Chains A and B, each alone.
Chain A
């Protein structure tokens, strides 16, 4: 097919207009937003919030890469460098990645995809946004007061006994953000179980729902363990309760068991919703139902389940017994299988599909390649012998950035670009967005591929000085980071521009299946004029073609 072929189908711009009534203009005034129960408005509030924190986390990344341009520790002091990577991790993980898809796209789309008017508990939804901000403010306070330098992992006894930085403030922030996450997940689970429209059986739900549902189970069951762990660290620092203190008979490794019991499932909390986005995007831009729907659906749940069994692979060199390391290593190999199932199913979805290369699809392709590399390097790390050599080096840094940035962040951007017309009623500049996607892809690879080599060669992570022979690779990485930064700034510009000047998108610019594409863009506050009755499978393009033929499209 020609490179200019696109399935983008906008209404006639000379007569098109935004719908007269929608969730954005339904009520006026800042309070109507700050006290809203509308899941869509809360999604937008979250979107603005996480973008803000993303750029803060990105600023830290910039400073890290700047320092690493030279082998000498010449930009910042050691303590400051420790604070930079700690804050980068804390902000990016807890304030950006964990809420990214669920709190923005999930909040917006889950009720609509299910045919519901809202999530089960709108007030809890709003509460979760306020908790996000209160936790975020604590984290910012820790930063402003001087920073925390424990690493995002708060490892004991460093965090409990050897530092006098603002560990408790940061830990409190993360604790509160954790509850924001729990409430989001709780809301999704109840909504999926109890608020599906008539005819919407479990196996007719979009795969985006399955992924968010699985992630929500992890949020609800895993996050509380992080919460109690941070409480114990705080108690140990403040009133001397010595649960992790070897001097009092405690075991510092207990901290790590409890911490990673959440933090490993956390990576699945982060990636699963992204995988849900990819299912939707790949299907739409191949005009084909997702291959092996059931396998993909169950693989989401399998990832969630198995994700609970592998946490000690973060602790192989920390003093766990060899027997236990063996068990966790084996389970780690197994947990890769459901992820691989998804990649294969997406690949088979592409096969014989009518593929077009709009921006969301570009990001999705990027995801497939980069997540595969990231995931496979995870399997390498799961092998005990390899891990001893590679752990705590830049190989790990490269691995998790491949899955989290090359994977998750690309999926998030895919989702934003895919559903932007639905959320705002506007279309963005396709050429600029494609440019941003390609820039991001190039910048990403330039930043992180050298880091695999660096790690393999032995450069430790969390160090701000290194042997001179590593400089070339570090310079490449920093150059890449600059390109990556540009790639991330571009969407801010053209997406904001589109709000006022973008083309009117209409109900279904991508000609996608899914209930969200059958309603106006932006949607009404109550989503549906009438409760939909679902009588077709997910990704049923014949049904869509049949419906479009027999329908008069109205806008507004």
Chain B
């Protein structure tokens, strides 16, 4: 009946010399437990995000297989320099976010604020480029709906493009590509906007000193979210921009 449990010293010491840190929640026994629970909780939330984007990725997979020519032609309308630049920007923001977590862990307030600010800035740059790209689509009538214009796909030579012309039927299917393009990058951008708003708040709090005494969890867990959004783009970039750029 006696359970073989052994007392360890560290927990005891913590218990007896216990001074509650300001962020400590009473329903957790230890700071460590609270921090682990927080990270675990954030990962579970990211799992929901994987499944959320998952539906979109499946739709993409399906229609790319059904309408390869339409997807290639439509994809080639996207700008690789802008897309690659944005990819680099996001990876950079991920780097600075990770550096922010490090700065919080080593309690360097100034660096933390700087890194969070740079992350935010890079996020804004990304969104700016996306706006430019969306605007271009608007001008060319490549937004799905009533005003969608397929003429560039039926007769690319007339627009100075070195593409294969498509049948009108296949050209109509480019709308599916653009539907997915806007749905996927739009959903991604929405997540970026939410992230940037949170970054403003976290930067302000960091400046106030909230994270300079070892309270890393919010920075760490936000970082997880930010990196996840980065990973979504890491997949979106080749799938949307780089379908087939080689000469036949």
Contacts of B173 in A (CB 8 A): 248-249
| Interface pairs (11), CB distance under 8 Å | A190-B41, A199-B5, A222-B51, A225-B51, A232-B59, A241-B179, A243-B63, A250-B179, A254-B62, A257-B58, A258-B55
B3 CB within 8 Å of chain A = yes
Q: Which of B5, B55, B145 contacts A239 (CB 8 A)?
A: B145
Which one of B32-40, B96-104, B108-116, B131-139 is at the A interface?
A: B32-40
Q: Is the CB of A190 within 8 A of B55?
A: no
* Known A242-B179, A249-B67, A531-B29; contact A228-B55, beta-carbon cutoff 8 A: yes
The answer to whether B66 touches A243 (Cβ under 8 A) is: no
| Bound complex: CA A250 to CA B70 (Å) | 13
CA distance A116 to B29 in the complex (A): 9
**B128 CB–A CB distance under 8 Å:** no
Tell me the bound Cα distance from A190 to B43 in angstroms.
10
Q: Min CB distance, B154 to chain A, in Å?
A: 15
Known A-B contacts: A224-B49, A225-B51, A243-B183. Give 8 more (CB < 8 A): A121-B37, A121-B41, A224-B54, A228-B53, A239-B144, A240-B145, A243-B176, A535-B1
Say yes or no: A195 contacts B37, CB within 8 Å.
Answer: yes
Which of A220, A249, A257 interacts with B63 by CB under 8 Å? A249
**A254 CA to B65 CA, complexed, in Å:** 14
Q: Does A177 contact B (CB under 8 A)?
A: no
* B147 to A, closest residue via Cβ: A240
Q: Does A122 contact B (CB under 8 A)?
A: yes
Q: Is A500 among interface residues, defined by CB-CB distance under 8 A?
A: no
Q: Is A21 an interface residue (CB 8 A)?
A: no
In the bound complex, do residue B27 and residue A116 qualify as a contact, i.e. CB atoms below 8 Å apart? Answer: yes
A198 adjacent to chain B (CB < 8 Å): yes
Interface string of B117-143 (1 = CB under 8 A from A): 000000000000000000000000000
Task: Find out whether the CB atom of A240 lies under 8 angstroms from the CB atom of B55.
Answer: no
A43→B238 CA distance, assembly (Å): 46
Q: Do A198 and B5 touch (CB < 8 A)? A: yes
Interface residues, chain B, with chain A CB atoms under 8 Å away: 1-3, 5, 25-29, 33, 36-37, 40-41, 44-45, 47-56, 58-59, 62-63, 66-67, 70, 144-146, 172-173, 175-176, 179-180, 182-183, 187
Which residue of the partner chain, among B5, B36, B45, contacts A194 with CB atoms under 8 Å?
B36
A198 to B7, CA, bound (A): 12
A221 at the interface (CB under 8 A from B): yes
Report Cα–Cα, A232/B104, bound state, in Å.
39
* Choice from A118, A198, A231, A251 contacting B62 with Cβ under 8 Å: A251
Q: Are A186 and B45 in contact (CB under 8 A)?
A: yes
* In the complex, per-residue mask of A216-245: 1 if CB is within 8 Å of any chain B CB, else 0: 000011111101110110010001111100
- Within the complex, the shortest CB–CB distance from B60 to chain A, in Å, comes to 10
CA distance in complex: A249, B1 (Å): 68
Residues of B contacting A228 with CB < 8 Å? Answer: 51-56, 187
Residue of A nearest to B25 (CB): A122
Given A199-B3, A221-B51, A243-B183: A190 and B40 interface contact (C-beta under 8 Å): yes
The docked-state distance in angstroms from the alpha carbon of A460 to that of B134 is 48
CA–CA, A195 to B2, complex, Å?
22
Per-position 1/0 for A245-268, Cβ under 8 A of B? 000111100100110010000000
Assembled-state Cα–Cα distance A527/B159 (Å):
73
Q: B residues within 8 A CB of A225?
A: 51-52, 54-55
Contact flag A249-B44 (CB < 8 Å), given A228-B56, A240-B144, A531-B29 = no
- Asked whether, in the complex, the Cβ of A117 is within 8 Å of the Cβ of B41, the reply is no
B residues less than 8 Å from A117 (CB atoms) = 26-27
A167-191 vs B, CB cutoff 8 Å, 1 = contact: the mask equals 0000000000000001000110110
5 pairs of A and B residues whose beta carbons are closest in the complex: A240-B145, A118-B27, A228-B55, A224-B52, A224-B51
Residues of A near B5 (CB, < 8 A) are 198-199
Residues of A in contact with B (beta carbons under 8 Å apart): 111, 116-122, 124, 182, 186-187, 189-190, 193-195, 198-199, 220-225, 227-229, 231-232, 235, 239-243, 248-251, 254, 257-258, 261, 526, 531, 535
Nearest B residue to A122, CB-CB: B27
Point out the residues of chain B lying under 8 angstroms from A221, CB to CB: 47-48, 51
Q: Which of B45, B172, B183 is A235 in contact with, Cβ under 8 Å? A: B183
User: If the complex has contacts A239-B145, A242-B179, are A190 and B47 also in contact, measured as CB distance less than 8 A?
Assistant: no
Known: A190-B41, A248-B144, A248-B175. A223 touches B48 (CB 8 A): yes
CA distance A239 to B62 in the complex (A): 22
Closest to B176 in A: A249
Q: Given A117-B26, A223-B48, A224-B48, is A195 in contact with B53 using a C-beta cutoff of 8 Å?
A: no
Partner among B37, B48, B55, B58 whose Cβ is within 8 Å of the Cβ of A220:
B48
Q: Nearest-CB distance from A396 to chain B (Å)?
A: 25
- A258-B58 in contact given A248-B175, A249-B176 (Cβ < 8 Å): yes
Instruction: Enumerate chain B residues within 8 angstroms of A251, measured Cβ to Cβ.
Output: 62, 66
- A98 CB, nearest partner CB in chain B, Å: 15
Contact B37 A249, beta carbon cutoff 8 Å: no
Across the interface, which residues of A come within 8 angstroms of B45, CB to CB? 182, 186
- Residues of B within 8 Å of A229, CB to CB, are 55
Chain A residues closer than 8 Å to B33, beta-carbon distance: 194-195
- Residues of B contacting A261 in the complex (Cβ-Cβ under 8 angstroms): 55
> Which residue of chain A has the shortest Cβ distance to B66 in the bound complex?
A249
Q: Give the nearest-CB partner of A182 in chain B.
A: B48
Q: Which of B44, B51, B52 contacts A190 (CB 8 A)?
A: B44
Chain A residues with CB under 8 Å of B28's CB are 195
Report the minimum CB–CB distance from B180 to chain A (whole Å).
7
Chain B residues, Cβ within 8 Å of A223: 48
Alpha-carbon distance between A118 and B33 when the two chains are bound, in angstroms? 14
CB nearest neighbor in B for A223: B48
CA distance A294 to B89 in the complex (A): 51
CA distance A60 to B187 in the complex (A): 36
Q: Are A240 and B146 in contact (CB under 8 A)?
A: yes
Q: How far is the CB of A39 from chain B (nearest CB, A)?
A: 9
Q: How far does the Cβ of B217 sit from chain A's closest Cβ, in whole Å?
A: 12
A120:B59 contact, CB within 8 angstroms: no
CA distance A450 to B135 in the complex (A): 60
Q: Contact at A242–B51, with CB atoms within 8 Å?
A: no
Q: How far is the CA of A261 from the CA of B33 in the complex (A)?
A: 34
The chain B residue sitting closest to A38, CB to CB, is B27
- The smallest C-beta distance from B191 to any residue of chain A, in angstroms, reads 12
Interface-centre pick from B25, B28, B48 (highest chain A CB count, 10 A): B48
Residues from chain B with a CB closer than 8 A to the CB of A189 are 40, 44
User: Which residue on B lies nearest to A198, using beta carbons?
Assistant: B5
Q: Which residues of A contact B41 (CB under 8 A)?
A: 120-121, 124, 186-187, 190
> Closest residue to A191 on the B side, CB-wise?
B37
Alpha-carbon separation in the docked complex, A117 to B26 (Å): 8
